[in-house]
Amino acid sequence: MAETTQAKKLKVLVIAGSPRRGGNTDRLLDQAAAGAASQGGQVKQIVLADLDISPCLHCDGCIQTGGICVIEDDMQWIHNDLREYDRFILASPIFFMGITAQAKAMIDRCQALWVIKYRLKLPIALNPQMDRKGVFISVGASKYDNLFQGSIATLKSWYVTLDIKYSAELVFPGIENYDAVSKHPTALKDAFALGQQLVS
Ligand X SMILES: Cc1cc2nc3c(=O)[nH]c(=O)nc-3n(C[C@H](O)[C@H](O)[C@H](O)COP(=O)(O)O)c2cc1C
- Cβ(67)–Cβ(116) under 8 Å? yes
Q: Which residue(s) pair with 135 in the sheet? A: 89, 168
| Binding status of residue 188 toward ligand X by CB under 6 A | no
Distance in Å, CB of 84 to ligand X, minimum? 27
The span from the CA of 164 to the CA of 166, in Å, is 6
Task: Give the binding range for ligand X (CB under 6 A) out of 38-46, 115-123, 137-145, 192-200.
Answer: 137-145
| Binding status of residue 137 toward ligand X by CB under 6 A | no
Closest Cα to residue 112, out of 56, 196, 153? 56
25 or 111: whose CB is closer to ligand X?
A: 25
| Binding status of residue 23 toward ligand X by CB under 6 A | yes
Alpha helix stretches (DSSP H) within the chain:
24-38, 61-64, 75-84, 101-108, 111-114, 149-161, 187-199
Residue among 46, 130, 141, 193 that touches ligand X (CB under 6 A): 141
12 or 139: whose CB is closer to ligand X?
A: 139
Residue among 43, 69, 89, 139 that touches ligand X (CB under 6 A): 139
77 or 144: whose CB is closer to ligand X?
A: 144
Q: How many residues in the shown chain lie near ligand X by CB under 6 A?
A: 18
> Per CB under 6 A, which of residues 35..74 are in contact with ligand X?
none
- Cβ(167)–Cβ(158) under 8 Å? no
- Cβ(30)–Cβ(63) under 8 Å? no
The span from the CA of 134 to the CA of 167, in Å, is 6
| Binding status of residue 152 toward ligand X by CB under 6 A | no
Interface positions with ligand X (CB under 6 A): 18, 20, 23-26, 93-97, 139-142, 147, 175-176
